[in-house]
Amino acid sequence: MLNQHMVALGNNRSTIRELFEYGNQRAAVVGRENVFDFSIGNPNVPAPDAVREAILAEAAGDPVSLHGYTSAQGAADARKALADDLNRRFGTSYTGDSLYLTAGAAAALSCAFQAIACPGDEFVVLAPYFPEYLMFIESGAGAKAVIVPPSIADFQIDFDALEKALNAHTKAVVVNSPNNPSGAVYSEQTVKQLAALLRDKEAQYGHPIYLVSDEPYREIVYDGVQVPFVPNYYDDTIVCYSYSKSLSLPGERIGYVLVPPQAADSADLYAAVCGAGRALGYVCAPSLFQRVAARCAGQTSDISVYQTNRDLLYEGLTSMGYSCVKPQGAFYLFPQTLEPDDRAFCERAKKYDLLVVPGADFGAPGHMRISYCVQTETIRRALPLFAELAKEYQND
Ligand code: PLP
């Protein structure tokens, strides 16, 4: 007898993966250039030159240590370099001992959730959310995910709804800013209000409520928007970070968990993160890319093409009647669909080979996610098709 739950997880591909596969099939029929695949969030700008230089510099070093295991939490010099970079940017005073290096944000989140989850615990997730959170919380950590509906007007936080979701079982609240899929960046006011609410609830329930801040898009912001550094506002924060997006390295699998010393039970919490990584069999993060990330600390891919794409798509779609909150970060647009049934809308869009993901997958039905990490030309050619699709609804 196999674990049927895992069999089901393996067999049920996410809608995003389904669309991606469908796009490949359509490309074989109509040609790759005629499929407008906005389904997946794979960075399409190259890693900065510094990454290549770092790889070459590391490759010229000792070939044994280059590919060897590191400490489970990551090489000490790499962790120190990354902590120093955070300190420079955010005025903090972390040491490398606050960092646990991981295979990307997915592994960081899994370690963080499993480090803190006890039987009966609830994790509050704010919609719209990255769908894999539910997988990591429920199937990975064995906790319950409690979804808070989105604040549609601006994709900040609906604090009344959040407050209703908090109770004595709440172990953590999961936030993601800049957000996938909405592109919203939480304002300082939002973060302050969130911190104040959670401090009140900690006092009321007499135990820590951790704020798990998932930040793979931290540096991908437009128009000079500032992303508040959450641990500077709320002590009981655990940061999960990734270089998948900021350095365009999603396949290399490198990121970290930051357990700030200010967090409740921080020494045990850090040990628990290491313990979770051990239980998951992670051993250590990819050693070459630990060092590459350390050498490239503070660098970001050239994201100007994302801004061009955002502007083109936002202006184009809103001028033809689509309604959308202007994203300030990440590389997603999250407009409302032209009918309440977002799945039906996304199915209809396929007629034009426009591949967009239903908002329901992110806990926000009535929306579609458009990943604009594509060639600008793809967007230029897709806009008339979005217009034709909109016309169909006017004629209905
Ligand atoms: N969190 C969010 C919000 C994401 O969008 C993604 C990937 O798209 C991840 C986590 C996982 O990223 P990684 O590639 O670092 O595992």
Ligand 1 and 180: CB distance under 6 A: yes
* Residue 20 C-alpha from the chain's centroid: 18
Ligand 1 and 248: CB distance under 6 A: no
Q: Among residues 179, 136, 128, 330, which one has the least CA distance to residue 245? A: 330
**All structural domains of the chain:** 4-48+301-395 (3.90.1150.10), 67-295 (3.40.640.10)
Asked if residue 64 has pLDDT above 90, the reply is: no
Ligand 1 and 37: CB distance under 6 A: no
Percent of the chain exceeding pLDDT 70 equals 100
Name the residue of 242, 254, 357 to mutate for ligand 1: max ligand atoms within 8 A of Cβ. Answer: 242
**Rounded Cα gap, residues 156 and 136, in angstroms:** 23
Higher-confidence residue of 64 and 48: namely: 48
Atom of ligand 1 nearest to the CA of 105: 15
Return the structure tokens found at 359: 């908002």
Q: How confident is the model at residue 62, as a pLDDT?
A: 87
- For 2-33, the pLDDT digits (tens) are 999 999 999 988 888 889 889 999 999 999 99
Could you tell me the distance, in angstroms and rounded to a whole number, from the CA of residue 106 to the centre of ligand 1?
6
- For 261-300, the pLDDT digits (tens) are 999 999 999 999 999 999 999 999 999 999 999 999 999 9
Radius of gyration of the chain (CA): 21
Ligand 1 and 102: CB distance under 6 A: no
Ligand 1 and 178: CB distance under 6 A: no
Q: Among residues 82, 90, 192, 153, which one has the least CA distance to residue 326? A: 153
Q: What is the DSSP letter of 371?
A: E
Q: Please, which pLDDT band fits residue 256 given cuts at 50, 70 and 90?
A: very high
Ligand 1 and 181: CB distance under 6 A: no
**Rounded Cα gap, residues 114 and 277, in angstroms:** 9
Atom of ligand 1 nearest to the CA of 109: 10
Ligand 1 and 214: CB distance under 6 A: yes
How would you class 112 by CB atoms within 10 Å of its CB: exposed for 0-12, middle for 13-18, buried for 19 or more? Answer: buried
Q: Among residues 245, 166, 278, 150, which one has the least CA distance to residue 211? A: 166
**Rounded Cα gap, residues 12 and 186, in angstroms:** 32
